[in-house]
Structure 1
Amino acid sequence: MMGKQLIGALLLSVISSCTFAEDITGLWQSIDDKTGAPKALIEIRQEANGSYAGKIVKITPRAGYTPKETCVDCPAPYTNKPILGLDVVTGLKHSDGSSYTNGRILDPNSGKIYSMKAKLSSNGKRLHLRGYLGVSALGRNQIWIRAE
């Protein structure tokens, strides 16, 4: 009897830790990969089709930097849209474990759209993003920190 309870408890803890580790929904603080300064708060949500999208809910002020208010150099449908409230992450799909692929990420400052993949840290507090054009080797990394 004791063995069944132990196995049940272990199974439950494995299932609950997997569920938490894979959940990227919520608020994330994006960090500038060049300066290390916080850039914006992004709210990631799961769409009806199961993919994930993320919108800018707050722009973080930084010394010596005045953020753009609209997406001036962005392609349609983002052209001249307010950056606040803009979906900058789209189509991100859970692939396996803590990995996500097939996403697209918009840099509202340059207007460029990159292919994107992401991996959630084992404790669920950091999201490692890779944005790239063409092949993943030609891209940039960013780490977003879960906002409490």
Structure 2
Amino acid sequence: MKRIQLFLFSLLFLSFFAGLSADPLPVTGVWRTYSDDGKEESTVEIYEQGGKIYGKVTGLVDPNDKDGKPARCTACEGAEKDKPVLGLVIIKGLQADGDKWSGGRILDPNDGVWYKCLLKAVEGGKKLEVRGYVGFSLIGRSQYWVKK
């Protein structure tokens, strides 16, 4: 009886720690992004470079501003200031962290602000949880992107 209990305890113990060290599901590929009201806004290609994850805007539902010119990141500062949104790298430097990718940042081209970011593939890799936050990940918001 003690052997069975020891075996079950060992199995439970190992399965717990195996889950902690699990590699995250791949997040690379092309993803559709959606506004808060559920309308498709853009496509973002997420790729790996030098062991880190990056993402750039590869398509826009509304590629032009109100004047009919290509949309630009007018609210951005620094290197991104006034660059076209199409082709803009908006996710930078995420690294594998358990079952997610974190340690990088994401740019919101609408307000020009860089936020800390974490990505996690969900629903077997069909959706991507994208969380932007300031300070702690509890203080932020998530969006769900759909794999194209």
Measured in 1, the distance between the counterparts of 2:142 and 2:91 equals 14
Question: Percent identical across equivalent pairs?
Answer: 32
Structure-1 separation of matches of 2:132 and 2:26: 20
Query: Structure 1 counterpart of 2:97, which letter?
Result: S
- What is residue 103 of structure 1 aligned with on the other side? 104
Q: Larger radius of gyration, structure 1 or 2?
A: 2
Gaps in structure 1 of 5+ consecutive residues:
1-17
1:55-134 matches, within 5 Å, as 55-61=56-62, 69-97=71-99, 99-134=100-135
Q: SS at the partner of 1:123?
A: helix
Q: What is the CA–CA distance in structure 1 between the aligned matches of 2:140 and 2:25, rounded to whole Å?
A: 24
Q: Is 2:28 the partner of 1:25?
A: yes
**CA–CA separation in structure 1 for the residues paired with 2:60 and 2:91:** 15
**TM-score, L = length of structure 1:** 0.76
Equivalent position amino acid for 1:134 in 2: G
Cα RMSD of the aligned pairs, angstroms, is 2.2
CA offset digits 1:17-36 (Å, max 9, x no partner): x88x621111000112x211
- In structure 2, give the amino acid aligned to 1:23: P
For 1:82 and 1:122, locate their aligned partners in 2 and report how far apart those are by CA, in whole Å.
32
What is residue 4 of structure 1 aligned with on the other side? none
CA distance in 2 between counterparts of 1:122 and 1:71 reads: 32
Deviation at 1:94, TM superposition (A): 1.3
1:135 and 1:123 map into 2 onto residues whose CA distance is 26
Q: Secondary structure at the match of 2:56?
A: strand
Name segments (4+ residues, structure 1) moved above 4 Å: 65-68
